[in-house]
Structure 1
Amino acid sequence: MSRVLNFSAGPSAIPLAVLERAQAEFTDYHGLGFSIMEVSHRGKVFEELHNNAIAKVREFYNIGDDYAVLFLQGGATLQFAQIPLNIYAGGVAEYANTGVWTQKAIKEAKIQNINYKVVASSEDVKFDHIPKVEFSDNADYGYICSNNTIYGTQYSTLPSPKCPLVVDSSSDLLSREIDFKAHNIGLFYGGAQKNAGPAGITIVIVKKDLAARVKDSVPTPLRYTTQIEANSLANTPPTFGIYMFDLVLDWIKEQGGLSAINKINMQKAAMIYNQIDSSSFYRGFAKKDSRSLMNVSFTTDNAELDMKFVKEAEENSMIGLKGHRILGGLRASIYNAVSLDDLKTLCEFMREFERKNG
C-alpha cells in the first residue's frame, strides 16, 4: 500500500495507526462478531465506548462535572446558530471577527435579531492577523474562532474575559492544552474532521449553567439541555464518528497527551515557517505574531507558479496544498496526524521547486 502525504485542510489526515485499528475492528469489534456501526446506540457496548470518550475529553482538558461534553451533528455551521439560540440572555453578545467562520457566526446572530456587537476585527487587512480583543465584563458571551484555516492565523493565547468565552476550536481541537478556568470558557466546540477524526461529529463542551439559559421557545432538538439530559443520545448519534474520535483520543494519549502533541506541532510549524522566511521565493500571508500552528498559508511569485507547485506536489504524492478559493495561493495544513517526517519531505520539495523555478 502506498499512501500520500495529506496536507488537506479538512476533512484531513487521520493517523495511520487509527485507520489500521479501525480496519482491524471494522467487521469484528473487540471479538464480539459485529461492527460498532451495527449495534444500538443505547446498548451496553456502545454506551461504554461513548462514556470512555467523554472521560478522555474531560481528562485532556481538565474539566469537571460543571461542564457537559456533547457529541452532536451539523458541524460548526449549526453551532453558529445554536449558540445564540441557547445562551443569549437578552443583553449583548460580542464577537471578534477574524475571518470567514466568525463572519458566518455573526450572520447567524444578525438573523436571530439579537443584540450583538463586533468588538474586534482584522477584516480591513484581509484577516492577516489576530486583533487585540477586549470583551465587556457583563456581555452575555464573547465569541472567538481560535484558529482560522483560510488565512493561517491563530490565537497564541486565548482571551481571559470576565464574561463567558465561546471558542470555535474546529481547526485546532485537541492540539494543545487549554485552561478552561483561566480563560473563563463557557462553551468550547469543534468539528472533528480537521484534527480529531472523520467528518460527521461535532464536539461541544458547555457549562451546564450556561446551557440552562435556554428559552422555552427554542425547539427541543436544538437545546443543549436536551442533549445534556440524554448524554447526547436524545436522537441517534453519529456512532461510527464517535468510535473513530475515541480511537484518535487513544492515539493522542499514546503520543504523550496534549502537551507532547503541542511540542511536535510547534516543531513542525517552525520548520515550514523557517523555510518560507529564509526564501525570497515564498511569502507567508499571516503576520508573524499571529501565525497558526495548524494551517500555513503562503504563495509563490504568481498564481501560475502556485498551480504548478500544486500539480508537481501531487505528482510527488503530496495532496491538499492548494490554497482556499477565497485567499488563493498555497496552504499546508499540518494537523496532529501530519508527522515531522512529512514536514521534512514537504520542505525538501519546496527547496527543490524554488531551485527549479526561482
Structure 2
Amino acid sequence: MEHTWRWFGPADPIRLDEIRQTGATGIVTALHELPNDQVWSVEAIRERQAMIEAAGLTWSVVESVPVHEAIKLGLPQRDELIATYCQTLRNLAACGIDTVCYNFMPVLDWTRTDLTWALSDGALALRFDQTAFAAFDLYLLARPGAEAEYSDAEKAAAREHLDHLDAAGRDKLVNTLIAGLPGAEEHYTLEQFRGVLAEYAEIDADRLREHLGDFLAAVVPVAEEVGIRMAIHPDDPPRPLLGLPRVVSTAEDARWILDVVPSPANGLTLCTGSYGVSADIDLVAMAGRFGPKIYFAHLRSTQRESPDPRSFHEAPHLDGDVDMVGVVRELVAEERRREREGGPRLPLRPDHGHHILDDQHRDTAPGYPLYGRLKGLAELRGVELAVRSLMA
C-alpha cells in the first residue's frame, strides 16, 4: 500500500523534508488557504505540487475539497457552488491528482472535547467526553431543545462537570468544540455557532441524505469523466450531535452512498477511528465487504470508555477497539486483487497520533504530531509486512 502523511501546507510546522524521513512517500493535503466557494486554479495546484515534488514526495490524495454548507443545506446557490467544485476536480485531474477525500458533516468536522488528554504513559491524546459535551450543549451553548435529548442523570452530571470548571476551563471547552480543528475550514464564535445551527433547524437526516444524493449526482459524473476517485469520509463521531443529522455513520450509510450514484468514481475513505467508535460496526467485515470501493484508508484506533461508551479517546494505533491486524489483512487482500485484476493504488495514512517525546514541545496541530504519527506509521508498516509475509 502507498504510505502517506497529512500535511497542512507551508504553514505546517512539520516540514516536508522531515516527512520524507518518516517512510511516507505520498502527501495528503489541500489548498486550505482558499475559501470554500473558490475554484482551485491549475496554477495554484501546480505551485503546491511542485513544492511537494521538490522534497522528493508525491501529492497523492487531496484532503479535502470542502463541501460548502449551502450545498448541505440545499440553498439556491448550491448549483453554482457545485459547478465551482466540479471545476476544481477538473483542474486537479489536469495536474495528475486523482483521489479526493471529502466529508458531508454539517457545520463541524471531527469533534473532540479535549485535545491534550494525558494517558498513563504521559502521552497526550484526543478525547471525546460525553459529559463534557453535554455540559457544553446544555449550559454553554444552551441549544434550544437540547434538554429533551438528555436524561435527568445526564443533565445532573453535566451541571456538576461545568461547576468544576473555572472561566478558563469553560473557554477552553468552547474553543475546543467550535473554534476550528485541523482540516476544518470554518471557525466560529459561540454566537455565530448558534446562528449556523439555526440554519439546520429544518434539516433532518432524510433531507441531508437527499442533499448528499443531489451533490453526488452532479459531481460523480464529472469525477468519472476526468479520472478522479471520490472517497467520502465518515462522520466523527458517527452519530448525530447538537441536533445536527449525520448520514455517513454506518455500513448501511456507506452502501446507500455507493448505490445512489453507481460509478467507479464514487468510493469510500475507510477511517477506522471514526467507524470504530461504534460498537455496532464490524470493521474487518466492512473492509472486506467494501474493499473494491475503498480508495483511501485512515488507520487509527479509538478506545470506548466505561461506564459511558459514547466517551472515547484515541488509542495507540495497534490497541483500542479496532482489530488493526484484521483490517490491514483485508486491505492487503484487496490490493492483491487489484494487482491481479487491475485497479487503483490504495493509499493509507496514520491518523491522530499521540503527542509524545518532543511533540509535547513542538508547535504542531492537535492530533497531527511528528513523532506520534511516525510511531503509528512504523507500526502500520510492520503489520502490513507481517500480513504480506503470512499471505505469501
**TM-score bin (small chain):** under 0.3
Report the TM-score when normalising by structure 2: 0.26
Larger relative contact order (Cα-Cα within 8 Å, sequence gap ≥ 6): 1
Report the TM-score when normalising by structure 1: 0.27
Which structure's residues are more often helix, by fraction? 2
